[in-house]
Copies of this chain bind each other. A is one copy, B any other.
Amino acid sequence: MPGQLVECVPNFSEGRDPAKIDAIVQAIAAVPGVALLDRQSDHDHNRSVVTLAGAPVAVGEAAYRGVEKAAELIDLTRHRGAHPRIGAADVVPFIPVEGVTMEDCVRLARSVGQRIWSELKVPVYLYEAAAQRSDRANLENIRRGQFEALVREMGTVAERDPDIGDPVCHPTAGATVVGARRFLIAYNINLDTPDRGIADQIARTIRTSSGGFPCVKSMGMMLASRNLAQVSINLTDFERTPLHVVFEAVKREAARHGVEVVGSEIVGLIPARALEMAASYFLQCENFRPELVLERRIAAVMENSSVAECAESDVRTGLTPKD
């Protein structure tokens, strides 16, 4: 585990042409020190989502290379798809994972945004934690009316002025939204009822927009294959509203309806910290801290492996069980 780790999840407006998608992915993966974690393309959305991680400088470079390749290959005037978009490279969020702050990611977003404008002449909007105007924290405000509206309104409607660059839409690559946000955990909880209404009610109880927990998006769904209702959850800041808090709340609310939780599933990836928090909570652990995790400790020692330093800290912690 390197000392500093940033994740980036750029979204590109091409989900059908494998040659173009591959070229973008390869431009990203070619940057040394970058780990390509995932790639997904959706034909209906006509959109691809790439997940990469690494040290901040490498990830910033790789994100830029992807945007550059997308601007070269994608022509938004010919793009049709179900998913809203304003740019060839549509959204580029940076996410702190390890040893970096949200402020570091905001700085990274702004510097990559600056480069996108100055080298590619694609104007840039800054969103979420990197937003410079409060109405731009929310991506949907920026994307309203999509590329087509942006082309008409940029330069005319002052409210459409980008955060970086001149108010001139790139003729084929549109504009790009760059920002910084927390890691998003996607998590579903299955109920032993075919009554979707119950899942809907539970979703309303827990989600932020209906007065529930902070940083929770949620809706009821049907798991058709098993004829079960499901509470589908996005946690946008699991340090503020932890996974286990939401799970326990769903369990309690389900019990009020005489319904039980039969299982749950993690969609995509989950940070180790979220699992550690859950384990520590359920085990009622009084002294838990991440440094107690063997692998973290090994990684930390491997990094700054000064004998003196280690010896000193170890005298304090006093850890080892004996044979």
Contacts and interface: CB of A to CB of B under 8 A. Distances in A.
Contacts of A293: 269-272, 275
Q: How large is the interface on A (under 10, 10 to 19, 20 to 34, 35 or more residues)?
A: 35 or more
A52 to B, nearest CB: 9
Interface centre among A280, A282, A322 (most CB of B within 10 A): A322
Contacts of A261: 284
Interface centre among A30, A49, A90, A293 (most CB of B within 10 A): A293
Interface in A290-323: 292-299, 301-302, 305, 307, 310-311, 314-315, 317-323
Integer count of this chain's copies in the complex:
2
B37 A297 contact: yes
A122 interface: no
Contact of A283 (B49, B244, B288): B244
A276 B294 CA distance: 13
A311 B1 contact: no
Interface in A17-31: 22, 25-26, 29-30
A131 to B, nearest CB: 14
Interface stretch (A4-12, A147-155, A194-202): A4-12
A98 interface: yes
A266 interface: yes
Contact of A310 (B29, B283, B288, B321): B29
A51 interface: yes
Interface centre among A38, A272, A276, A286 (most CB of B within 10 A): A38
A33 to B, nearest CB: 8
B310 A36 contact: yes
Interface in A177-207: 183-184, 186, 190
A37 B314 contact: yes
Q: Which 4 A-B pairs have the closest CB atoms?
A: A282-B282, A35-B301, A275-B279, A278-B279
A107 interface: no
B315 A1 contact: no
B265 A307 contact: no
9 contacts: A36-B311, A47-B322, A53-B298, A262-B284, A263-B286, A267-B319, A272-B272, A272-B294, A278-B283
Nearest to A269: B294
B275 A318 contact: no
